[in-house]
Amino acid sequence: MLKNKSYIGISFIILVFGIYAIPKIIDRVQKGSVVQGDRLDKVNASKEVDQKLVKIGPAPKFELTNQDNIKISNDFYKGKVYVLEFFFATCPSICPKMNANMVTLQNTFFGNPNFGIVSITIDPEHDTPKVLKEHAKILGAKSANWNFLTGDKDYIYSLSNKGFNIYVGENSKVNGGFEHSGLFALIDKKGNIRCRKDDFGNPILYYDGLEKKGIRDIQQDIQALLKE
Tens digit of each residue's pLDDT (9 = 90 or more) over 85-95: 999 999 988 99
Task: Give the whole-angstrom CA distance, residue 160 versus residue 183.
Answer: 11
Tens digit of each residue's pLDDT (9 = 90 or more) over 197-220: 999 999 999 999 999 999 999 999
Give the pLDDT score at 162: 96
Contact criterion met (CB below 8 Å) for 77 and 118: yes
- Backbone dihedral angles phi then psi of residue 185, each to the nearest 5 degrees: -95, 140
Q: For residue 51, name the pLDDT band (cuts at 50, 70, 90).
A: low
Residue 14 has pLDDT above 50, yes or no: no
DSSP 210: S
CA 215, 217, 219, 224: dihedral to nearest 10 degrees? -160
What's the average model confidence in pLDDT over 6-33? 44
pTM confidence score? 0.77
Tens digit of each residue's pLDDT (9 = 90 or more) over 155-198: 999 999 999 999 998 887 777 778 878 999 999 999 999 999 99
Task: Give the whole-angstrom CA distance, residue 222 versus residue 186.
Answer: 8
The residues, any chain, with a CB within 8 Å of residue 102's CB and separated by 6 or more, are: 83, 85, 117, 119, 139, 141, 146, 184, 209
DSSP string, 89-100: TT-SSSHHHHHH
